Structure 1
């Protein structure tokens, strides 16, 4: 088991749990407000400080939880877009 520093305030949880991008050895099994709870496959190579990319289950409601979005391609931030409706989720 592992705990990550991103919970439902980051990824949303309105319709399901996020996926861990590119990591078949990790599964999100729960979210608290500030933390992600992971199940690890035997031999999973995760260490404190590792960065993981989470894919929200439903992105529409997740967008409104943030003030800006980072557009990333091939590991490079190409743009930062403001979210005018940040905090407007009902």
Structure 2
């Protein structure tokens, strides 16, 4: 029942013409797109550029917490935002 859209006669006539145009365009593409034409979602080939994943120097636990305004049990301590302590 959700897929049934109430349309008046004018809307049906207008949309029928638009649907015919869509079907015609799909037919034109199908004529050109043979098995030798590769399917694509983008006209220009895309590729991600990644740098090599190299492990570098990292901070120690103590260095990370040394400038923290408040800490507890080796973690940053922040104010509760939900109105209750967890």
TM-score (norm 2): 0.16
Structure index of larger Rg: 2
Greater share of residues in helix = 2
Greater share of residues in strand = 1
